[in-house]
Structure 1
Amino acid sequence: MTLLKLAIKSTLNRKASVLLTLCTIAISVMLLLSIERVRHDAKSSFSNTISGTDLIVGARTGDIQLLLSSVFRIGHTNNAVSWKSYLDIKERKGVAWTIPISLGDSHKGHAVLGTDATYFTHYRYGKKQHLAFQHGRAFHNAQEVVLGSDVANKLHYHIGQQIVISHGTGNTSFHHHDDNPMTIVGILAPTGTPVDKTLHIPLIAVDAMHKPSHTQPMMIGKKSQQNDHAQHQHAEDHNSHHNEHDEHDEHGHPHGTLDSEPSDLVGSPNQITAFLMGFDSPLYTLQVRRNINMYKAEPLLAIMPGLTLRELWEMLDIVEKILLLFSIVVVLVSLLGMLTTLLATLSQRRRELAILRSVGARPIHIFALMSSEAILITFMGCLAGCFLFYGLLITANPLLQSQFGISLTIGWLSNYELTLLGVIMSAGTLMGLLPAARAYFYSLADGMSIKI
């Protein structure tokens, strides 16, 4: 205990240089822990977003691009899938269920997803968990909307409130669908996935807001040059939409206001962005996937979410390794800085060490004192780094959630993170052995003699 008190007092006596060393160690520890936590939680967030889905089908594009746009709401697809092709593939042998999705609109920066009642029945996340309602129910007609939990909490929305959907996926839009206000009828329970940040509306509601021809149904991010021009164009689109629906009336096609049963929500849009598929057997999955990728009616792409996610992590593996190597180098540099500081001050402390020898301290005591100082500095640096690490998590978590859909875990350090701290402590201890060994061989005369 006396040796520890002496080490603390000796460290405080050199507080300027020790503080700089401590700060470098703390920053390096924070960086190393942050990279590890973001890497782990990013994989967890992406993996838990969707489960139980065998195929995702969209217009032919890159596998990863289709996955990111349709499931994670990151990026977009320039083309769409015709409704005729969707119905044809839906009737294939072995198909258990399908979920059509239509993207391209937003509300105050949050994505709007057009779908049908099968979404709330078959969509699963995490370990095949079903979606649940925190308040309200699913939509029953084209004027109703279901919110994700984050949307409701952030915008302070409640059941029965009316909102207006905007065209495009940006935070700012010059084209609002004011003539189609939506009433909030349900709020989903939190899932920790992009579902929480999404507004869900019926497919026929999406169709009602845009041109019935859907020549460019998902022109994501397209904005009118002038607000008046956008409103005029929207009025023409709306009128042509009603004219085509009048023609549908003559042929007995359902449209407009729906009955109260969710099964009546199956509209007839011309195009959708993509659709999810589940099968009775994995054998059907591979067979239908091959048929879709060779589909002659239009160029389509079918991907398996699990395999595509694995490809994504393989692409990012080199980036993870580079970031980890960068963090290790920063930690090593900070520890070398501590070693340099201890060696630089060793010559200045000759007289101090000689006085300790004169009052009965043995060489082993001097060795233990110098080693204790290095361990103390490393420990304080790791402790300060942990505080900075949690401060960074609390600060960055909302930004990562809103921009990338990554939810960071603000909890106790994992076993791997504790192992990293243990390695840093061990390295700091080894760094302190060199100046301690040099001090061990100092004699009493070394400190008492005056060197010019």
Structure 2
Amino acid sequence: MTLLLLAYKSLKSRAVTTSLTIFSIALSVMLLVGVDRVRQGTQAGFSGTLSQTDLVVGARGGSLPLLLYSVFHIGTGTNDISYASYQHFRDHPAVQWTIPISLGDSHHGFRVVATDDNFYEHYRFRRDHSIQFASGIRPEGIFDAVLGSEVAASLHYELGQKIVLSHGLERTSLQNHEDKPFTVVGILARTSTPVDRAIYITLYGDEAMHIDWKDGTAPAPGEEIPASKIRKEDLHIDQISAFLLRTKSRVSTLLLQREINTYKGEPLTAIIPAYTLQDLWSVLGYADVALSIVSASVLVVGLLAMLIALYTALNERRREVAVLRAIGLHARQIFTLFVMESALISAAGTAVGLTAIYLLLWLFHTPVETRFGIPLAMVGVSQRVILYSFGVIFAGVLLGCIPAMRAYRNGLIDGLNAH
């Protein structure tokens, strides 16, 4: 205990050098642990976005793009699928429920998702959490809209407000549906998923917006069909972007997936979300390894900085070591003292780094989700983080043995003769 107190006071007497060394190690630990926590948090966030959905179905194409644009609202689909094909599988005897999704419009950079009541009834996230309303009701009229919590908060919209949707996904669009404004009838409770960053309308509302469009071209001035003259019975849904489905039994999931992928009516792709997410992690795994290598390199630099600081200060502490030897400390105790100092520095740097990275993750996980649309769940201390922490401290102790060995070998007379 006396040696530990002595090591602490020795470090305290060199507060500036000690603080800089602790800071360099803390920064290294922040990078190393931060990469791991961001990876784990991103995986947990993405995985928790969609639950209890067995298949995601879209036009023939890549499985990863289909998952990204239909569930996470990242990217765009290359083709739509016919509503007749959707109805065919919606009424399939192996299907429990389906959620149709139609994309293609936006509002101030937020995606517009056309769907039906099944979305509010069956969509699940974070295992068994369902869609809840913070205020208002589901959209019932053709031009009713429901806002995700982030949309309402960012744009300061309230119930009853009129909004104009834009054609396309650009933040600033030149083609607005000004002649067919929507009315906000509901605001969803926060989910911390991409659901928060979208505007939800009915499939009929999506058709009504484009009823006077031909081949993706807006009508000429004066040729628009007024919203007041559009009736639900006049609308016919032809296409949607994708749909989610849940089977009545897990056994039938693979059989139904094969049936959809070989469907002769039109080329379709059915994916299992969990498996496709694994493909995403494998793609991102190379970046994770690269960042981990960079972080580990920074950690090595931080530990070497500690070694340099202790070794450089050793020459100035020759008289201090000699005095300690003169008052009765054995050479082994001097060795232990230097090792304790390096252990205290590495432990303090590790503690500061861990505290800082978890604080930063807590402060910025919501802005990251809002700004970049990447779900970043808060995750606890993993075995890897514990391993990193003990590894840093152990490496610090090993490096501390180098100046400790030199101090151990310095003789009493050598220290007393030091100037």
Task: Give, as a single letter, the amino acid of the residue that structure 2 aligns with 1:281.
Answer: S
Given the alignment, which residue of 302, 323, 326 partners 2:294? Answer: 326
Number of corresponding residues: 418
Give 5+ residue unaligned stretches, structure 2: none
Q: Tell me if the contact between 1:53 and 1:278 (Cα under 8 Å) persists in the aligned partners.
A: yes
2:345 maps to 1:366: no
TM alignment of 1:38-187, pairs within 5 A: 38-187=38-187
1:209 is aligned to 209
TM-superposed deviation, 1:93:
3.1
C-alpha distance in 2 between matches for 1:188 and 1:308: 28
C-alpha distance in 2 between matches for 1:57 and 1:351: 77
TM-score normalized by the length of structure 2: 0.90
C-alpha distance in 2 between matches for 1:413 and 1:87: 46
What SS is found at the alignment partner of 2:410? coil
1:447 is aligned to 415
Task: Give, as a single letter, the amino acid of the residue that structure 2 aligns with 1:206.
Answer: D
Give 5+ residue unaligned stretches, structure 1: 218-229, 256-266
C-alpha distance in 1 between matches for 2:211 and 2:15: 71
C-alpha distance in 2 between matches for 1:449 and 1:298: 92
1:275 is aligned to 243
TM-superposed deviation, 1:94:
1.7
Task: Give, as a single letter, the amino acid of the residue that structure 2 aligns with 1:141.
Answer: G
2:387 maps to 1:407: no
Task: Give, as a single letter, the amino acid of the residue that structure 1 aligns with 2:197.
Answer: K
2:310 maps to 1:342: yes
> 1:122-150: per-residue Cα shift (whole Å, max 9, x none)?
21112133222222221111121112222
C-alpha distance in 2 between matches for 1:346 and 1:235: 87
Q: Tell me if the contact between 2:318 and 2:418 (Cα under 8 Å) persists in the aligned partners.
A: no
Q: Tell me if the contact between 1:211 and 1:241 (Cα under 8 Å) persists in the aligned partners.
A: no
Moved more, 388-397 or 199-208: 388-397
> 1:306-332: per-residue Cα shift (whole Å, max 9, x none)?
211122222323332332333223212
Q: Tell me if the contact between 1:147 and 1:198 (Cα under 8 Å) persists in the aligned partners.
A: yes
> Identity over aligned residues, as a percent?
41
Cα distance change on mapping 1:214 and 1:62 into 2, 3 Å: farther
TM-superposed deviation, 1:103:
0.9
Cα distance change on mapping 1:287 and 1:125 into 2, 3 Å: same
C-alpha distance in 1 between matches for 2:348 and 2:213: 66
1:199 is aligned to 199
TM-score normalized by the length of structure 1: 0.84
> 1:392-413: per-residue Cα shift (whole Å, max 9, x none)?
325532442021332342x764
Moved more, 376-385 or 205-214: 205-214
Given the alignment, which residue of 300, 305, 312 partners 2:268? Answer: 300
What SS is found at the alignment partner of 2:145? strand
C-alpha distance in 1 between matches for 2:387 and 2:61: 42
1:7 is aligned to 7
2:352 maps to 1:384: yes
C-alpha distance in 2 between matches for 1:242 and 1:212: 14
1:254 is aligned to 233
2:281 is aligned to 313
What SS is found at the alignment partner of 1:76? coil
C-alpha distance in 2 between matches for 1:413 and 1:56: 33
Q: Tell me if the contact between 1:400 and 1:407 (Cα under 8 Å) persists in the aligned partners.
A: yes
What SS is found at the alignment partner of 2:127? coil
What SS is found at the alignment partner of 1:180? coil
C-alpha distance in 2 between matches for 1:268 and 1:341: 76
C-alpha distance in 2 between matches for 1:117 and 1:358: 85
Cα distance change on mapping 1:412 and 1:308 into 2, 3 Å: closer
C-alpha distance in 2 between matches for 1:213 and 1:84: 21
